[in-house]
Structure 1
Amino acid sequence: MVARAASVDDVVAVLTAAALAGRRVRPIGSSHSFSAIGRPEETQLVLDELCHITVGDDGLVTVGAGTPLYRLNAELARTGWALTNLGDIDRQSVAGALATGTHGTGAGFGGLATQVRALQLVTPAGEVLHCDAGTHPEVFAAGRVGLGALGVVTAVTLQAEPAFALHAVEGPGRLSAALECFEELMTSTDHVEFYWFPHTDATLLKCNTRVPLSVGLDPLPRWRAVWDDEILANAAFAGVVAAGRRLPALVPPLARVSARALGRRSWTDHSHRVFVSRRRVRFLEMEYAVPREQAPAVLEQLRRVHEDGDWRTAFPVEVRLAAADDIPLSTASGRDTAYIAAHVPAGTEPGPWFAALEAIAGEVGGRPHWGKLHGLDAAVLRQRYPRFGEFLAVRDRLDPTGVLANAHLDRVLGPAPGR
């Protein structure tokens, strides 16, 4: 069953009816998650009609839960504001991105949830809670990365900042050099990430520096943006992936060709236009958050395992950073974090490649991204998150019978006490 909500009252009606009938409800955003976190068992609650945006003079922006990030970014830019940091995808709904712990990169910057200043949340009992640091503070603390398990978030207030530009510099690098000088490299500018191409020592390095809009913009020429981002990064890469699926033996030489095709470029544009990339090649993803100081060793071991195995890995491995935060189920909760993400083509079995990343990251207490594939359960995750019990206490109070749960949440959080 699919239910659509155009108002808070609609959400209240769906949840209270489900609780009375003993049915389960899962809210859904843009269906971007790879994990089964949003999969319904009985009722799917669609929130895309909750998409209002109100921007205050102080940069506080209140957003309907179903608002896609790309619409929010455009409205903020129009009114002279910007989010402090973003991931490289903007198709998610605001509430969905927050619920799964979406993040960008930058040693001094937290994930999207660190920009939240207030939440409006409907509980399965039909209570509408307005939460911030002073009102229902325990719900606010947990609900910033809430997995959709505490209630249905209907609106979010985020703190934006005056609009700024990013000066982007991209070019080829070497994994060996990145591992040798990891800390120096990843803190060399405000927002740094790199992509390692398995079967090679090659990386694509992206370094973004925050600059005021007053310095002026120097965006990529249209032809260069189309050539690099549409033809090479999407169309040509799609061809590489397709060829590798038909003839796996082609993957290593094609990876070397792809790595050599990387060119150096630089430009300056509005922040959201630089943070966000267009990804048109479908894939499955696993991402682990590891203590930042452990990242070089994890990557070195991952490379060694890859070299020793007979694997054909067409997709690059993505490496990013985030600052520690104070959110119970944030993957960066309590520690400066490095993110390491592996990908395989959609429709294929991740098999030993994902298993290798999960095992290696697990040796250093790695935490899986809530919206991406992993095999951990509540017993293991409780050991990885010092504040796991704090989150469960809020969940058990707000949803004691598991109205908002599904099989996936039963696995990663444990069943609600009334199930």
Structure 2
Amino acid sequence: MLTLSQQTKLWKNWAGNVQSRPQQVALPESVEDVVSIVNDCRRTGKHIRVVGSGHSFSRLVQTDDCLLSLERLQGVYAVDSDQHTVEVWAGTNLKDLGQLLYEHGYSQENLGDINAQSIAGAVSTGTHGTGIRFGSISTQVVGMTVVTAAGEVLECSEGQQPDLFRALQVSLGLLGILVRIRLRVVPTYRLRYRSVRMPLNECLASLDAFREDHRHFEFYAFPYSNTAQVKFMDETTELTNVNQTWSYVKKMVMENAVFWLLSESCRLIPSLCKPVSRLSAQAVPTVDESGYSHRLFATPRLVRFYEMEYSVPAEKMKDVVEELLQAIEQDQFAVHFPIECRYVKQDDIWLSPAHGRDSAFIAVHMYKGMQHQPYFERMESIFQRHGGRPHWGKMHTMKSDQLHLVLPHLADFLALRSQLDPDGLFVNPFLSELFGISPRR
């Protein structure tokens, strides 16, 4: 049954830096419900934004009109064993999706390190993991069912309305409401995960070898130190050797509880950031464990933070990381979070930050409650100087004129958006400002 509540309760995202008081919250339970909500909002002049788990740091879903959640549209819709595809409801969160696919003998080929997002939210914002031979989660999509601003239910794929498909693969919710997503999947597989501490200069000198020789490779560079945490994941036939209970306790205690206490200390006494960063670098754990992929990709993240992430050409990883760390030293920023560095294969998705180029994705973080703007502004200037494109779910300050210079298909995307939603039903003030959209509503 469709639930529509009239309310002005405060909604907040995960980080707490975005909030709004929607007049209406909609919880559809079917495609027909979604169509009904769209038609009603079009008739009454309300804008709609779709919310998943609220893990975006930007104001993508902020609205005072209708906030629509797909949380009641979850689960597997259809399995095609011949084509190795699985169609799922768009509200399915990634953690549950991993288990559901496993029960059918399948896995996603790659995931990020957080699995709280809905599959629709992950696809719409270009969420990614790491691995130079793997694209973002959006590249795993082979078909979508969407409800447009006109209340039409459309299906698209590479062979059926290919322009709409390329635009919808990363759409920020501007083209319609995704209700079902068809994914290319692979048979279940196991990974061996290793974490090691090494000198940063040794890591940076080995980037080409590390990214080519391992299925998944990422590293964390700690400010005010010459230390990196390096992570590798490779397929293995080894049986699972993870003590799930002990591994969970270590991650909850060391990576969350202890780090939260250190972070709170830094918030209260910012001068502690430098020694805390160095301490964290020396405490990098040595890990060697094996298990099914969907159980190893993600780690629990309970310490709240703000995040900015940019994509730059893959070959610029070393130069950009060195510049970021040098700027931190020069300006003596109070930051203790490491810089997160990953690789993503190029794609042909219109709004993808990895469009047309193998990419290095580099993320900077600041503990919630600490001053982040000067730090992010300095880091962003370096990203942009190297041709950076922002991750849509993270904080950034780019505007339409800048985005047109780095995204070759942005004009095509906006033209299609104008055709599908001329009255701006799915536009909020943030997206209007971001892309220079002037809704008629």
TM-score by length of 2: 0.92
Q: Distance in 2 between matches of 1:57 and 1:218?
A: 26
Are the structure 2 counterparts of residues 151 and 236 from structure 1 closer, same or farther at C-alpha, using a change threshold of 3 Å?
same
Indicate whether 1:55 and 2:79 are aligned: yes
Indicate the residue corresponding to 1:172 in structure 2: 197
Indicate whether 1:229 and 2:254 are aligned: no
Indicate the residue corresponding to 1:94 in structure 2: 119
1:188-337 aligned at under 5 Å gives the runs: 188-211=213-236, 215-222=237-244, 224-337=246-359
Indicate the residue corresponding to 1:74 in structure 2: 99
Q: Distance in 2 between matches of 1:218 and 1:47?
A: 34
Other structure's SS at 1:408 match = helix
Q: Distance in 2 between matches of 1:318 and 1:16?
A: 43
- The answer as to whether partners of 1:331 and 1:367 remain within 8 angstroms in 2 is yes
Q: Distance in 2 between matches of 1:243 and 1:370?
A: 31
Please report how far the alpha carbon of residue 179 of structure 1 lies from its aligned counterpart in structure 2 after TM superposition. Answer: 2.2
Q: Distance in 1 between matches of 2:136 and 2:166?
A: 14
Q: Distance in 1 between matches of 2:121 and 2:422?
A: 22
Indicate the residue corresponding to 1:156 in structure 2: 181
Q: How many correspondences in the alignment?
A: 416
Indicate the residue corresponding to 2:60 in structure 1: 37
Indicate whether 1:15 and 2:38 are aligned: yes
Counterpart pick for 1:115 among 140, 165, 178: 140
Indicate whether 1:131 and 2:153 are aligned: no
Counterpart pick for 1:338 among 352, 360, 363: 360
Summarize deviations over 1:156-202 as a string: whole Å, max 9, x none. Answer: 00011001111111110222222223222222311000111111111
Q: Distance in 2 between matches of 1:99 and 1:251?
A: 35
Other structure's SS at 1:358 match = helix
Are the structure 2 counterparts of residues 312 and 349 from structure 1 closer, same or farther at C-alpha, using a change threshold of 3 Å?
closer
Q: Which moved more, 1:216-225 or 1:104-113?
A: 216-225
TM-score by length of 1: 0.96
- The answer as to whether partners of 1:315 and 1:344 remain within 8 angstroms in 2 is yes
Indicate the residue corresponding to 1:140 in structure 2: 165
Summarize deviations over 1:390-419 as a string: whole Å, max 9, x none. Answer: 111211110111110001111222215646
Please report how far the alpha carbon of residue 223 of structure 1 lies from its aligned counterpart in structure 2 after TM superposition. Answer: 6.0
Q: Distance in 2 between matches of 1:52 and 1:7?
A: 12
Indicate whether 1:399 and 2:421 are aligned: yes
Other structure's SS at 2:235 match = strand
**Match for 1:399: what amino acid?**
D
**Match for 1:30: what amino acid?**
S
Counterpart pick for 1:357 among 368, 372, 379: 379
Please report how far the alpha carbon of residue 41 of structure 1 lies from its aligned counterpart in structure 2 after TM superposition. Answer: 3.0
- The answer as to whether partners of 2:427 and 2:439 remain within 8 angstroms in 1 is no
Indicate whether 1:370 and 2:395 are aligned: no
Summarize deviations over 1:81-126 as a string: whole Å, max 9, x none. Answer: 0000001111001101100000000011000000101100011111
**Unaligned 5+ runs, structure 1:** none
**Match for 1:237: what amino acid?**
F
- The answer as to whether partners of 2:218 and 2:341 remain within 8 angstroms in 1 is yes
- The answer as to whether partners of 1:240 and 1:314 remain within 8 angstroms in 2 is no
Other structure's SS at 1:187 match = helix
Summarize deviations over 1:15-57 as a string: whole Å, max 9, x none. Answer: 1222222221101111111110011131111111111313332
Q: Distance in 1 between matches of 2:259 and 2:354?
A: 31
**Unaligned 5+ runs, structure 2:** 1-23
- The answer as to whether partners of 1:55 and 1:76 remain within 8 angstroms in 2 is no
Q: Which runs of 4+ in 1 moved over 4 A?
A: none
Q: Distance in 2 between matches of 1:266 and 1:398?
A: 50
**Match for 1:56: what amino acid?**
D
**Match for 1:149: what amino acid?**
L
Other structure's SS at 2:193 match = strand
Q: Superposition RMSD on alpha carbons, in Å? A: 1.4
Summarize deviations over 1:256-287 as a string: whole Å, max 9, x none. Answer: 12211123121110011111111111111100
